Amino acid sequence: MKTIKIFDTTLRDGEQSPGATMTTQEKIIFAKQLFKLDTDIIEAGFPISSPGDFKAVQTIAKLVPKITTICALARCVAKDIDCAWASIKKAKSPRIHTFIATSNIHLKYQVKKSKKEILQLIKQMVSRAKSYCNDIEFSPMDATRSDYDFMIKACQIAIKVGATTINIPDTVGYSPPNEFGELIKKVRRDLHKKVIISVHCHNDLGLATANALSAIQNGAQQVECTINGLGERAGNTSLEELVMILKTRQKILNFKTNINSKQIYPTSQLLTKITGIKVQPNKAVVGANAFAHASGIHQDGYLKGRQIYEIMRPMDIGLDSSQIVLGARSGRHALKFRLQQLGKYVNEEQLNNIYNKFLKIADEKRIVTNSDLKRILKK
């Protein structure tokens, strides 16, 4: 069984989500939680972007309680790379992650450099990063919209001068899973066998997790994720989704991670607390409804056997239990179960009488609470 490295970029790409900027202290608090999560690599920030981010990355690098790789992002610009190294040089396991665009659209409108100039910059800047530390990651930005031959040449040059990880980003969430998987298969075929292939998928079309899974099945050994799928525009591959897919379907997929899944929910909740960005209720794995049952048929099935409607255990992500939510679509089985939780045991005639009163309240309220039930029982 192969182990997939989890590269968490919540503190870098996740923080670039509108309204998600963290203070230095908040980043430190969240980094400590990522240590508990047993994250393999933490991209702690983009040090050149601000003095505050530099300080946060530098502090996190010094705090690492075990061998967790601390990564700093840098453009293929000398001052960026120098700054990145200055921020992480005290880390037990430092990594510099440098990037430059390779797609024609980026080269023409944003970077405004020729392909020859881009290749020369990669050679110079990856070499510069390598002069500081051994662990170097290179990303050809907008890889999925790049000319393949040019993009692969850029990666080959990066490897030749010292890159140990090549990250293939779907920067704008452009590729469907079959196309992205084929791209990773070609990259794996055309690059040095010893280099680690990573992927960084965006969720603009809702395909980030599916693309990451397809990449793994085609040779990727590392996935760049964020907690709650936070990130630019529609976000990134959701760490909790990918980890629980690999855990839940481990026998079929034959992949695993080092993540302590019992820390997933606490980590998700902490991020919400820090940023104020709430998780949508129907979000996979960590949403409020992920382990909640409201329809009578589902409640009846769950009460007869958890596995009928749950493919994961709530305890596996750090939750105490699932929830039975009483409402207009709930049946007698769920009502009886809740009454027993309240210490009230009833026969069938009593249950029918209480159920009729329950439905009257349920038609007026979205959720019937324990307080509502206690009032019914007093009548």
Residue pLDDT, tens place only, 133-167: 999 999 999 999 999 999 999 999 999 999 999 99
User: What per-residue string of b and e applies to 15-30 under the rule 16 or more CB within 10 Å gives b?
Assistant: bbbeebebebebbbeb
CB neighbour class for 112 (10 Å; exposed up to 12, middle 13-18, buried from 19)? exposed
Going by the DSSP 8-state scheme, the letter that residue 226 receives in this structure is: B
Q: CA-CA distance, 335 to 299, in Å (whole number)?
A: 10
Residues 6+ apart with CB under 8 A from 2: 221, 254, 255, 256
- The more confidently predicted of residues 349 and 247 is 247
Burial of 240 (0-12, 13-18, 19+ CB in 10 A): buried
β-bridge mates for residue 223, sequence order: 6, 199
Say yes or no to pLDDT of 65 above 80: no
pLDDT of residue 67: 80
CB neighbour list of residue 200: distance below 8 Å, 6 or more residues apart: 9, 13, 139, 167, 168, 169, 170, 171, 224, 236, 237
pLDDT at 47: 98
- Centre a 10 Å sphere on the Cβ of residue 281 and count the other Cβ atoms it contains: 10
Residue 242 token pair = 């990918």
Question: Quick one: average pLDDT of 247-262?
Answer: 97
What value does the mean pLDDT take over residues 282-289? 96
For 259, residues 6+ apart whose C-beta sits below 8 A from its C-beta are 6, 37, 38, 39, 239, 243
DSSP assignment of 168-220 equals EEETTS---HHHHHHHHHHHHHHS-TTSEEEEEEB-TTS-HHHHHHHHHHTT-
User: Does 64 have pLDDT greater than 90?
Assistant: no
Q: Which domains does the chain have, with CATH numbers?
A: 2-275 (3.20.20.70), 292-378 (1.10.238)
Average pLDDT over residues 78-106: 97
Predicted confidence band of residue 5 (pLDDT cuts 50, 70, 90): very high
Q: What is the pLDDT of residues 183-196, one digit of tens each?
A: 999 999 999 889 99
Q: Taking 90 as the threshold, does the pLDDT of residue 296 lie above it? A: no
pLDDT band at 308 (very low <50, low <70, confident <90, very high): very high
Q: pTM of the entire structure?
A: 0.93
**Backbone φ/ψ region at 262: left (φ over 0), alpha (ψ -120 to 50), beta:** alpha
Average pLDDT of the segment spanning 306-335: 92
Residue pointed to by tokens 């959701």: 238
pLDDT at 192: 84
Identity (one letter) of the amino acid at 334? A
**pLDDT tops 80 at residue 253:** yes
Confidence class of residue 333 from pLDDT cuts 50, 70 and 90?
very high
| Cβ atoms 222, 5 nearer than 8 A | yes
Sign of torsion over alpha carbons 57, 62, 63, 67: positive
Measured on CA atoms in the order 190, 137, 236, 209, is the torsion positive or negative? positive
* Of the candidates 9, 86, 30, the residue with the CA atom closest to the CA atom of residue 275: 30
Give pLDDT, residue 220: 98
* Type of residue found at 373: L
Average pLDDT over all residues of the chain:
95
Helices then strands, each counted (H, E), the chain: 15, 12
